[in-house]
Amino acid sequence: MTRKKKPMGSLKSSAGFEAFVLDQLEDLGDVTSRKMFGGVGLYCRGVFFGIVARDALYLKVDEQTRGAFEAAGSIPFRPYETGGGTIRYYSVPVAVLESAPELTRWARQAVKVARKG
């Protein structure tokens, strides 16, 4: 029997949180956002590198960058409660989110990962 994916509820975030994230990422340059599946996709010069969902920011990771996220206590983005697994986006720690220079540094790494594919 195939298990059906159960949504975890809306991916929607508050407009205030979305604006805060975009303000914090201003120094990254040319960051745009697009609504997608109730959440928001973040793009830098057309490269999809982040997700804003449920008032959290998730950045793209790979084998080299995931360890820093895990060491900081980050969790993977899970759009569904069951099934579907995770995708290669991890939550940004609050301390990083609150520091625009540090968030920009982490986001630059996410953009590099996203460009690689």
The tens digit of pLDDT for each residue in 18-30 reads 999 999 999 999 9
Alpha-carbon distance of 70 to 93, in angstroms, equals 10
Residue whose tokens read 């969902």 = 53
3-state secondary structure 74-106: CCECCCEEECCCCCCEEECCHHHHCCHHHHHHH
Q: Compute φ and ψ for 7, nearest 5 degrees.
A: -65, 150
The tens digit of pLDDT for each residue in 72-93 reads 999 999 876 655 555 799 999 9
Judged against a pLDDT cut of 90, whether residue 9 lies above it is answered with: no
In the chain, the largest separation of any two C-alpha atoms, in whole Å, equals 49
Average pLDDT for the chain: 88
Alpha-carbon distance of 102 to 8, in angstroms, equals 30
Q: Tell me the DSSP string of 56-71.
A: EEEEE--TTTHHHHHH
73: DSSP letter: T
Topology of the domain covering 9-116: Yope Regulator; Chain: A, (3.30.1460)
The tens digit of pLDDT for each residue in 95-117 reads 999 999 999 999 999 999 999 98
The domain spans of the chain are 9-116
CB 8 within 8 A of CB 79: yes
